[in-house]
Amino acid sequence: QNCPFAQRALTSSQRMDWARSLYLDELRPQDLDLYVTEGHPGFEVWAEADVAQPFWDDFRRARILLAATEAINHKMFFDRECNDLTPYTNCFTRLDVCYDTTGLRCDPNLRYRTMGGTCNNLVNPKLGAQFSAYSRLMAPDYHDCLHSERRTAIDSIELPSPRIIGNILAENGFGIQQAAPTVSVLNVFGAFCGQLITHDTGSRINVQRYNFSGPGIQCCSQYYTRRLSEEISHPACKPIDIPVNDPFYSQFKANCLNFVSSQTTFSNDCKVGPAQQSNSVSAFMDLTIVYGDDQATQNRLRSRQSGRMITNAANVLPETPNCRQQPCYFLGDVRLNQTPMLAQWHSLFLRLHNLIAPLISANDEIAYQEGKRLTTALYQRIVFNEWLPIILGQAESINKQLTCDPSKANCGKYNQYVDPSNTNEFTHGAFRWLHAFVPSTINLYGPDKRLIMSRALSDMNSSQVNILNGNYDNLLRGVLNDPVNYGGYSPELRNRLMKDARGMGIDLFSIDIKRARDHGVPPYHTFISTCTNTPAQINNWPDLDPYFTPASLKILQTIYKSPRDIDLLVGVLGERRLTPYTILGKIGSCIIAEQFKRFKFGDRFFYQWTDGPYPFTQPQLQEIERFTMAKFLCSVSNIGSVPQNAFLTPSATNPIVACTSIPKFNFALFAK
């Protein structure tokens, strides 16, 4: 290949200069007061988890690679369409800074998944593994082709502030169309299942000081009255502007919301190019939220007796006093203390594991590994066969081979060329749409359906250990009974999330929109051609008629200058529903279905595969296919009765059934 600039390959000191010019990972000690401290709204988000040294080194080298790309870009090659680099990337591939995947020796016959997801894909053992990059369905849309935020299609001026977009949408219920109330709809329990899958497969982290775990970066002045000037703020700062007349924040005179760019890393093909964000957990649906991504976490969680994992006296989750809100729980994922509903989902799997493991073997190691394998299989089974048909619609889910009956239909097979990574468009775009359906209040009901407690979302996390330890079944009844919220992002999430003592919190909607822009997620219209399989030209507002109702289009026109500007999530929230009963439209369901295809066909250890190194036997597989969420809940709680389909609100078509009428899972088939 002709590499016209090869002789100009960057020396290591030049690369360091560029890295310094970006200045993203080191700060002077005197800048320390720029960090968020306890008591700030959103402290929980900005105070980051520990990152092990080798990953820090990766992050730093990735910045150098990006700096090199930037230098090439400025001096030589990109056009405005970001096209020109592609033919030359091979000239720059081995900048000797990428991690070495050849150093990973994978045993193709290994019976169990590795910690953190390495060696699942034998062609590229890092694909989908902890700390690899989020992948993409489309080329990123950065204004400078590399890392800066997208701008309007019309005059290349900044897009409207996410807060202003949120304020307009809030007045219009976020454009969300109401489902027919006469049928069962997704319940709160089902919404939090989405969050569980999210946390299993994705976790971006903010840029932080190099090799330093502590408070996160602050981009606004104290009390959030203004953004810090660029000279004194951290280069990773991208604060969100709040209008002075904001209906909520004006009472605090707050004009700035903290926002820090995500940590970037090497692209999965290790080539020069635009910024790629790091995913700090394994992207596989392998229950890393329960078992952890690394050996140290796993060791901390195992009891070393009959394969069981440790738990607290109430058999909810292990507790620790060493946390920001004391006491709190711990398990495989650090985010579990966000709400009792999320913690409870973790607890359900912990209980299931502890029920299964001792029945498999008396040998601790065998019981643990086999218990983990079966628990993970049962999780995949309920997500693909019960949860997805509700989210995507039964027909779509079957059509895409996501939901299937292995004894009757062709369920497809593992494909090593399917990239299992989590895509930016899914995690930082479409899948956050369920945030809009989280209710503002959570209710707890006793066995006699009596209301026992009703709590605003923003008041729950500080006392969640009390709530969950004492009210396990009451909380479960609440989330199973109550429907999701159809009014759009609730004020609890838009104003009071992780609030400070004054009651001022952060705005999840603004963060979601800003995050997608920070990650280069392209706007809504770019997905139309791919998702509809027909070339679509979206140049004028009427071109969007097939995708939005006239009322929704009118709102969008008040927000954006061009139909080519619409943030992906805003489009997904407002687009026409596929059927009156689904909560997604064409583009949203297309992006989500594509991701679940990757989670299934890109996972060498997916439970249905019969040709892997260690498949389930036919009788075992048949028993797994008989597992349901209702059976799961009856096995690990004392609620006594459940909605037949536990992800849907009870109704005439989804009656509440007694646990005694549900056949038990035959664990004997799995004994070793």
> By the 8 A CB rule, do 203 and 335 touch?
yes
Q: Of 70-78, 265-273, 403-411, 424-432, which segment contacts ligand HEM by CB under 6 A?
A: 424-432
SS (H, E, C) 646-657: CCECCCCCCCEE
Q: Which residue in 285, 434, 476, 646 binds ligand HEM (CB under 6 A)?
A: 434
Give the DSSP letter string of 596-627: HHHHHHT-TT-TT-SSSSSPPPHHHHHHHHT-
Count other Cβ atoms within 10 Å, centred on residue 460: 18
Does 288 interact with Ca ion (rule: CB under 5 A)?
yes
- Our finding on whether 333 is near Ca ion (CB under 5 A) is no
Distances (CA, A) of 141 to 133, 311, 316, 562: 16, 45, 44, 16
Q: Which residues, listed in sequence order, are joined to residue 278 by a DSSP beta bridge? A: 133
Least distance (Å) between residue 484 CB and ligand HEM = 9
Using alpha carbons, select from 522, 514, 594, 16 the residue that is nearest to residue 274. 522
Nearest residue (CB) to ligand HEM, 198 versus 282: 198
Using CB under 6 A as the binding rule, whether residue 427 contacts ligand HEM is answered as: yes
| Letter string b/e over residues 658-672, b meaning 16 or more CB atoms within 10 A of that residue's CB | ebeebeebeeeebee
Query: SS3 for 335?
Result: helix
* Residue 565 touching Ca ion (CB under 5 A): no
What is the per-residue DSSP string for 246-278?
Answer: -TTGGGGT--EE--BPBPEE--TT--S-S-EEB
- In DSSP notation, 29-41 reads GGGGGGB--TTST
Give the nearest distance from C-beta 602 to ligand HEM in angstroms: 17
**Going residue by residue from 478 to 507, which x/- string records binding to ligand HEM, judged by CB under 6 A?**
-------------------x----------
Interaction with ligand HEM in 380-399: which residues (CB under 6 A)? Answer: none
How many whole angstroms separate alpha carbon 175 and alpha carbon 401? Answer: 31
- C-alpha–C-alpha distance, residues 106 and 613, integer Å: 13
Residue 153 near residue 543 (C-beta atoms within 8 A): no
CB of 16 to ligand HEM, least distance (A): 30
Convert residues 339-358 into a mask of x (bound to ligand HEM by CB under 6 A) and - (unbound). Answer: x-------------------
Cβ closer to ligand HEM: 162 or 612?
162
b (16+ CB within 10 A) / e for 18-56: bbeebebbebeeeeeebbbeeebbbbbbbbbeebeeebb
Q: Verify binding: residue 263, ligand HEM, rule CB under 6 A.
A: no
Query: Binders of ligand HEM among 197-216, rule CB under 6 A?
Result: 198, 202-204
Q: For the window 33-72, what string marks contact with ligand HEM as x by the rule CB under 6 A?
A: ------------x---------------------------
Provide the CA 551 distance to its chain's centre, in angstroms: 30
For position 195 contacting ligand HEM by CB under 6 A, the verdict is yes
200, 246, 500, 512: residue in contact with Ca ion (rule CB under 5 A): 200
Near ligand HEM by CB under 6 A: residue from 113, 136, 435, 455: 435
Closest to Ca ion by CB, 48 vs 286, is 286
* 431 contact, one of ligand HEM, Ca ion, none, CB 5-8 Å limit per kind: ligand HEM
Going by C-alpha positions, the residue among 512, 547, 510, 555 that lies closest to residue 531 is 547
In angstroms, give the least distance from the CB of 194 to ligand HEM.
Answer: 3
Tokens describing residue 273: 């190019």
SS3 634: helix
Residue in 241, 154, 174, 163 with CA at minimum distance from that of residue 561: 154
338 near Ca ion, judged by CB under 5 A: no
User: Which residue is nearest to ligand HEM, using beta carbons?
Assistant: 202
Residue 508 binds ligand HEM (CB under 6 A)? yes
82 is a site residue for ligand HEM (CB under 6 A): no
DSSP codes joined into one string, 134-156: -B-SS----TTSSSSPPB-TTT-
The nearer residue to ligand HEM, 49 or 232, going by C-beta atoms, is 49
Among Ca ion, ligand HEM, none, what does residue 200 contact (CB within 5–8 Å per kind)? Ca ion
Is residue 442 close enough to count as binding ligand HEM by CB under 6 A? no
Binding to Ca ion (CB under 5 A) within 211-240 occurs at none
Interface contacts to ligand HEM, rule CB under 6 A: 45, 191-192, 194-195, 198, 202-204, 338-339, 427, 431-432, 434-435, 438, 457, 497, 508, 511, 515
Interface contacts to Ca ion, rule CB under 5 A: 200, 282, 284, 286, 288
